[in-house]
Structure 1
Amino acid sequence: MESAMSDAMTPEPEKILLVDDDPNVLSGYVRQLRYRFKVDTANGGAEGILKVRDAGPYAVVVSDYRMPLVDGLSFLCAARESSPDTVRIMLTGQAEMQTAIDAINKGGFFRFLIKPCPADVLIANIDDALRQYRLVTAEKTLLGKTLRGSIEVLTEILSMSSPVAFSRASRIEKLATGVGSQMEGADLWEVSCSAMLSQIGYVTLTPTLQQKVALKEELTVQEQAELKRHAGATAQLLRRIPRLETVADAIRWQDARFDGAGSDEDVPVGKKLPLSARILKAVIDYEELAGQNWQPAAIIDLLKSRQGVYDPIVLLALEQQLLAHGEKLKSWRLREFKIEELEAGMILAEDVHALSGLLILPKGHELSELSRLRLINFHHVGDLAGVIKAVVPVVANPAEAV
C-alpha cells in the first residue's frame, strides 16, 4: 500500500524530444540519454512538428539545424507556437554559427550547441533546460492559483452582498462553460471566469434596483441605464488584476451585438469580438428569458429570430448544450434537509427567507461553504426555520456510492 501511494505521489518525469533527419544520430542520442531522461525522437522537422502537437507536452526539444524540407529553425519556431513553455535547444555546425546566432536572437531559443556535441555537455545543457522549464511552469502554476484565489474571493463577496446576483452568475457560469465545451478553440478557463465575474458590478447598484431586478419588476429608463453600466464597472475593476485583461474585455462587451449594430466605434464586430463575450451575450439573454419561465425550445427559437444579435455558431453550441443538459436533469431529485444536513454543492429549490422577511438566498443558488455557514448562523440566532428544500444528484448505481 505504501509503495503504491509513493508511486502515485511521484511526479511523471518530463519528456525530452530529440529531432534529427539521421536515424543513426538519433540512436546515438537515445543510447546516451535514455537512462537519465525520458526520451522521444522524431525523424526530421516535419515529424517533430507532429510529435509536439500530438504527443506533447515536451519539457525540452533538441533539434539539429540542417535538415531537409523543414530545417531546425523552422521546426523550433513551430514548436514555440504549439508549446510556448517548451525549452528549445539547437545543434549546429561551426559553419552555421552566424545562422544559429541570428536564430537565437529571432526565436528566443534557450541554447545552441556546436556539433559534434560531447554527451556530458549535452546532458548538462538538458539539465539546465529542465530547470528553466520547471521555473516557468511553477510560476504559471503559482499565478494560476493566485488568480483562482482572487476570483474565489470576489465571488464570495458577491454571494454575501448580492445573493441574487451571485446565484445568477452561478447559473450563467455553468451554462456558459457548457457552451464553451461544445466549441473548438474556446478557452474554458476564460469563459468560466468571465461568466462567474460578469455580475460583480451588481454591488454598485442601489439596493432598491437590485431588489427590482431580482423580482423582475419593470425598470425606469434611468434604472435600465444604471443596470447596463454594471458591466463597465466590472471590467474596470478586473483590469486592476494582472492577467485578467481578456476576461475584463469579455465582460465589458457582453452586451454587444454580433453585427455591431448600436455599438460604439471601439467595440469589435463579428468574429473580432472575444468568443467569451459572444458566449456571454447568448447565455445571459437565455438566462433572462428562462427566469421568466420560458421553455428552452421557445427561447432558442426567439434568439435565432433576432438577426445579427448573436454569433450563429454560439447559438448552435447553446442548443447542443441544452439538449445534453436536458438528459442530465434526470439525475437530480428534490429533498428536504435540516439546516445542519446541508452541504456545499446542493441547489436551493426555493427562496430562503429569514423569519424577519429578509431574502437570505434565492431559488437556484448553489450552496458554497460560506453560504451554508450563513444559513447556519441565521438558524442559530432563531431567524430561520429548520428545514430547507434543495435538489441533490442521484447516484444511478448504489454500488458506485460505496
Structure 2
Amino acid sequence: MPENINYNAEHVLFVDDEPNILQSYLRTLRSKFSVSIALGGKAALELLESSPPYTVVISDIKMPGMDGVELLSIVRERYPDTVRMVLTGYADLNIAMSAVNQGDIFRFLTKPCHPDDLTKAIVSGVKQYKMTQASRELVAVRRMKEALEGSLRAFTRLVEFRDPYTAGHMDRTAEISSLIATRLGLSPDIIQGLHLAALVHDIGKIAVPSGVLNKPGVLSDAEFALIKTHSLVGAEIFETLATDWPIQRIVLEHHERIDGSGYPNGLKGDEILLESKIISVADSIDAILTTRPYREALNKQKCIDLLEKEKGIKLDTSCVDAGVALLKEGVIFKDLPF
C-alpha cells in the first residue's frame, strides 16, 4: 500500500443479508481499513446518512427488500464520489450488467473472494476516490483562479478610464513578464501568479492626479515623489487579497532595483522576489518601446542598449538576458524596427 494514504482512516462499508459473512469481513479487514457493516440495503442507507462520508461501499446483489442494484444506484445518486463495488455469489451476467449500468460499479467481485484480492480491490477503490476528490478540488481551484483574474482585469479597466496608457501598459507588461518567466523555466503556477500581478502592477496610479501622470514635460521633485507612491498604494489595495500568489508583494516591489536604488523600500539583490525582478525588466521594455507623454517611443536597439547598461546593476542579469533574447528573436514588439 502507498505510504501517502492512511488506509486505516478510509471508511469502507460492507452490505450483505448474511450476518456471518459481514462479521468475517469485519474480522479480516478492520486492521487495514475503517470497516462498517450493514445488514441489508435499508440499514446501509441509514448508516450512510448518519456517518462520515464512505470511501468505498461493497454490496451483495441478492438481498431481500432492497437489492444491491437498487442500493448502489441510490448511493451513486446521493454520494457520487463514493466508489461502489459488488461482491456476490451470483455470477448471472444479466444481473452483473444491470449492476454495472445502474450503479456505475467500479469492481465486480465474486464469492468466495480471497482476503488479499479483496484488499487489493479496496485499495484500488480508495485510490479512485482520492483521484476523484483531487479532480474536483482542481476544478474548484481553477474556477477560483479564473474569478480572481476576472476581478483583477476589472481593476485594469478602472484605470483605463483615467489613464488609457497605464491600462495598456499593464496588459503588455503582463504578456512580456510571462514570456520572460517562461524563458527562465519557471513553473506554470508561478507564471500565472506573475501574470496576474503584472496585470495590476501600476494600479496604485489611480491615486495619482491625471495631470501628473500625463504631464508632457519633466516632472518636479514633488510630482515624482507623488508618482513613486503608486507602489505603496497598489500594495495597500491588495492587502486583504486572499491568494497563494505573492501579488501584493510583487506590486509593492516592482520598482525596487538590485543595487538598492529603487523604491519604496530600497531593497537589494535577493531581498527582491524574482517575479518582481521580472516585472521590472518587462516594465522597462514596454516603457522604452512605447510613446510616453514626455517622449516618443525608442527603437529596439536603443532599448537593448539601455537594458544592457543596467544589467547586473539595477536590473537582474538573467531577466535582462531573457528579455533581450525575446526582442532579438522578434517574439515581442516584432513590428518595431531596430
Q: Secondary structure at the match of 2:279?
A: helix
Conservation of the 8 A alpha-carbon contact between 2:174 and 2:199: yes
Letter paired with 1:254: H
Q: Which residue of 1 aligns with 2:209?
A: 206
- The 5 Å alignment of 1:96-245 reads 116=116, 118=118, 119-185=120-186, 187-212=190-215, 215=216, 217-243=217-243
Which runs of 5 or more structure 1 residues have no equivalent in the other structure? 1-63, 65-71, 77-87, 98-110, 333-402
- The 5 Å alignment of 1:292-371 reads 292=295, 293-306=297-310, 307-325=312-330, 329=334
Moved more, 290-299 or 225-234: 290-299
CA deviations on 1:337-361 (whole Å, 9 max, x unpaired) are: xxxxxxxxxxxxxxxxxxxxxxxxx
CA distance in 2 between counterparts of 1:123 and 1:184 reads: 36
Q: Which residue of 2 aligns with 1:390?
A: none
CA distance in 2 between counterparts of 1:227 and 1:327 reads: 27
Change (3 A) 1:224 1:181: same
Change (3 A) 1:122 1:145: same
Q: How far has the Cα of 1:323 moved from its partner?
A: 1.7
Letter paired with 1:192: H
Letter paired with 1:180: A
Conservation of the 8 A alpha-carbon contact between 1:158 and 1:200: yes
Letter paired with 1:299: C
Conservation of the 8 A alpha-carbon contact between 1:238 and 1:245: no
The percentage of counterpart residues that share the same residue type is 14
CA distance in 2 between counterparts of 1:155 and 1:233 reads: 15
CA distance in 1 between counterparts of 2:231 and 2:262 reads: 16
Conservation of the 8 A alpha-carbon contact between 2:232 and 2:264: no
Pairwise CA RMSD = 3.1
Q: How far has the Cα of 1:286 moved from its partner?
A: 2.8
CA distance in 1 between counterparts of 2:334 and 2:309 reads: 27
Q: How far has the Cα of 1:326 moved from its partner?
A: 6.0
CA distance in 1 between counterparts of 2:121 and 2:282 reads: 57
Letter paired with 2:230: H
Letter paired with 2:302: A
Q: How far has the Cα of 1:245 moved from its partner?
A: 5.2
Instruction: Tell me the TM-score normalised to structure 1 length.
Output: 0.50
The alignment covers a number of residue pairs equal to 225
Q: How far has the Cα of 1:328 moved from its partner?
A: 7.3
Change (3 A) 1:252 1:90: same
Change (3 A) 1:201 1:262: closer
Which runs of 5 or more structure 2 residues have no equivalent in the other structure? 9-27, 32-54, 56-114
Q: How far has the Cα of 1:182 moved from its partner?
A: 1.2
CA deviations on 1:58-78 (whole Å, 9 max, x unpaired) are: xxxxxx4xxxxxxx65xx5xx
Larger-Rg structure? 2
CA distance in 2 between counterparts of 1:222 and 1:245 reads: 33
Letter paired with 2:185: E
CA distance in 1 between counterparts of 2:174 and 2:330 reads: 14
Q: How far has the Cα of 1:117 moved from its partner?
A: 6.2
Return the structure number with greater strand share. Answer: 1
Q: Which residue of 1 aligns with 2:284?
A: 285
Q: How far has the Cα of 1:204 moved from its partner?
A: 0.7
